[in-house]
């Protein structure tokens, strides 16, 4: 199911709006046959004559206005009235833009038909939004997709946050309770579920997905400890600014909640803007889809060669840590013998300063076909399915192994503030010749300098490196 506040849903919304405009344009192509005289402004209908290009231009222009008014930003359009208002403004701007386009181009398009087109397109875009909202409301009523909130700190600030969450637009938030180290509050207040030491137990028992830290400024060390303890859990971390002194990277103020009371900071806010994320995801979908279509025959041949070369499955599946430290299963072609995992401990080597090196040239576990696949990174092709499904990106920090992430220092977790990628700045500047424990600085460079053009540059450098076979084994 598409999550309401995900980039995939934004792209889904853009697609539905574009389809709505296209269908409305097609519909009025037939409307002139039966609308004559039906409405007061449809007395004189004429045949619609539009070039084919207009069937693409109209949806693009309208969607552009929707983007400009942040209609696809779920946080800004959480309330239905806000979404309707933005849709109305977008319809007005689209009407002016499209009318201007028709005015300067000699196209036969009756004014009455144009008005009907605007009404139909706006109606379609409004109808699907109502249907989606009714669906979400049903989901929330069935206790699905409900966001369960645990508040650390039962003082005045914590109770104020709780009262804020009880109001729209945050009414889909359920406060499961508080954690507080005050023995009197634990004893006398039934909604205080325990002390801060019980954090992990309470999160798991109540299926908490949002943690709000509302502690006094003097509790800086406690706040830092809490963030460290829940880094690997699928939990959002929101902090009341007055109670927060952590050094954050691209932390975001949650505007749709701060507008009605206490402002909150999202500790796990993505390191790229919503517009950048949308463009990056669209780029990933288009490129990965094209690559999959073009390479399917090649992947079929490789699958056969792997089965003929050695016993075992065609694909190698491995748990990796993705964006926001959430685990996912990465898919690659198998390049090692079937029992490679059990032999891993015997193959571990260290560099001159004692850091573990997990990849080296003389690894005897690699199969014959595996050497070839690794040299030209062909074993990575199945990851395009991970990209298409949104589990990772084409470009980004390399998805890390869970046991290595557990050894990370606090500053290294910044690399998970962006989608993890098939290739990245680190891979194009050394590939396997550069140990994984030295890649975080390169990941930080990529995050701090991100742009879609940097992604394209890295992909082009990756293609060149793959063809040369440099640094791959």
pLDDT, residue 314, reads 92
> CA 322 → CA 249, 282, 387, 390, 391, distances in Å?
18, 19, 12, 11, 7
pLDDT, residue 173, reads 77
Neighbours of 77 (CB within 10 A): 22
- Tell me the per-residue pLDDT of 300-337, one tens digit each, with 9 for 90 and over: 999 999 999 888 899 999 999 988 888 899 999 998 88
- Average predicted confidence (pLDDT) for the chain: 80
What are the extents of the domains in the chain?
7-141, 147-266, 274-468
For tokens 């049903």, name the residue. Answer: 138
Confidence of residue 346 (pLDDT cuts 50, 70, 90): low
pTM exceeds 0.85, yes or no: no
pLDDT, residue 120, reads 92
pLDDT reading at 296 higher than 60: yes
> Per-residue pLDDT averaged across 29-43, rounded?
57
pLDDT, residue 245, reads 43
- Tell me the per-residue pLDDT of 184-236, one tens digit each, with 9 for 90 and over: 888 888 888 989 999 999 998 998 988 999 888 777 788 888 888 888 788 88
pLDDT reading at 460 higher than 80: yes
pLDDT reading at 266 higher than 90: no
pLDDT, residue 244, reads 46
Confidence of residue 282 (pLDDT cuts 50, 70, 90): very high
For tokens 């008005």, name the residue. Answer: 115
List the beta bridge partners of residue 393.
421
pLDDT reading at 371 higher than 50: yes
pLDDT, residue 89, reads 94
206 within 8 A of 150, measured Cβ to Cβ: yes
Pairing of strands 265-266, 236-239: antiparallel
Instruction: Identify which has the larger pLDDT, 204 or 356.
Output: 204
User: Please, which residues have CB within 8 angstroms of residue 49's CB and are 6 or more apart in sequence?
Assistant: 107, 108, 109
**Which tokens in the block code for residue 44?**
């004189």
> Per-residue pLDDT averaged across 65-86, rounded?
84
* Lowest model confidence (mean pLDDT) among 151-155, 360-364, 398-402: 360-364
> Per-residue pLDDT averaged across 254-275, rounded?
66
User: Please, which residues have CB within 8 angstroms of residue 467's CB and are 6 or more apart in sequence?
Assistant: 376
pLDDT reading at 351 higher than 60: no
Instruction: Identify which has the larger pLDDT, 400 or 342.
Output: 400
- Tell me the per-residue pLDDT of 102-147, one tens digit each, with 9 for 90 and over: 777 666 666 777 888 899 999 999 999 999 888 877 766 555 556 7
Q: How many residues does this entry show for the chain?
A: 473
Q: Which CATH superfamily is domain 147-266 in?
A: NAD(P)-binding Rossmann-like Domain (3.40.50.720)
Pick the most confident of 70-74, 113-117, 159-163, 453-457. 453-457
Confidence of residue 243 (pLDDT cuts 50, 70, 90): very low
């Amino acid at each position: 199911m598409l999550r309401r506040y995900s980039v995939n849903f934004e792209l889904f919304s853009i697609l539905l709006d574009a389809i709505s405009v296209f269908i409305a344009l097609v519909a009025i192509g037939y409307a002139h046959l039966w609308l004559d005289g039906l409405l007061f402004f449809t007395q004189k209908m004429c045949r619609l004559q539009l070039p084919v290009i207009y069937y693409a231009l109209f949806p693009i222009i309208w969607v552009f206005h929707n983007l400009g008014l942040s209609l696809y930003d779920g946080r800004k359009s959480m309330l239905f009235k806000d979404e309707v208002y933005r849709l109305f403004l977008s319809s007005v701007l689209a009407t002016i833009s499209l009318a201007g386009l028709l005015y300067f181009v000699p196209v036969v398009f009756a004014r009455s038909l144009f008005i009907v087109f605007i009404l139909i397109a706006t109606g379609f875009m409004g109808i699907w939004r109502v249907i989606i909202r009714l669906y979400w409301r049903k989901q929330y009523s069935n206790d699905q997709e409900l966001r369960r909130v645990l508040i650390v700190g039962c003082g005045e600030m914590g109770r104020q946050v709780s009262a804020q969450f009880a109001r729209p637009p945050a009414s889909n938030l359920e406060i499961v309770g508080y954690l507080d180290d005050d023995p009197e509050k634990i004893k006398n207040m039934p909604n205080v579920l325990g002390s801060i030491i019980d954090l992990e137990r309470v999160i798991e028992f109540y299926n908490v997905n949002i943690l709000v830290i509302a502690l006094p400024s003097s509790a800086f060390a406690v706040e830092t400890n809490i963030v460290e303890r829940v880094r690997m859990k699928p939990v959002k971390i929101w902090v009341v600014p007055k109670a927060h002194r952590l050094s954050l990277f691209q932390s975001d103020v949650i505007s749709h909640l701060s507008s009605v009371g206490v402002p909150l900071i999202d500790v796990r806010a993505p390191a790229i803007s919503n517009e950048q994320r949308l463009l990056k995801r669209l780029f990933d979908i288009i490129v990965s889809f094209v690559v999959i279509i073009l390479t399917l025959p090649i992947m079929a041949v490789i699958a056969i060669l792997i089965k003929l070369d050695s016993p075992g499955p065609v694909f190698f599946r491995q748990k990796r840590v993705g964006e926001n430290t959430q685990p996912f299963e990465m898919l690659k072609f198998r390049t090692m013998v079937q029992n490679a995992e059990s032999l891993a401990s015997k193959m571990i080597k260290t560099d001159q300063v004692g850091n573990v090196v997990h990849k080296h040239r003389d690894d005897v576990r690699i199969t014959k076909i595996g050497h070839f696949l690794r040299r030209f990174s062909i074993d990575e092709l199945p990851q395009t399915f991970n990209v298409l499904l949104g589990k990772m990106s084409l470009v980004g920090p390399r998805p890390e192994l869970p046991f290595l992430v557990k050894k990370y220092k606090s500053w290294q977790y910044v690399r998970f503030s962006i989608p993890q990628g098939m290739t990245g700045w680190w891979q194009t500047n050394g590939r396997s010749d550069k140990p994984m424990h030295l890649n975080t600085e390169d990941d930080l460079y990529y995050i701090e300098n991100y742009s879609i053009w940097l992604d394209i540059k890295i992909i082009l450098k990756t293609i060149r490196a793959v063809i040369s076979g440099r640094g791959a084994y």
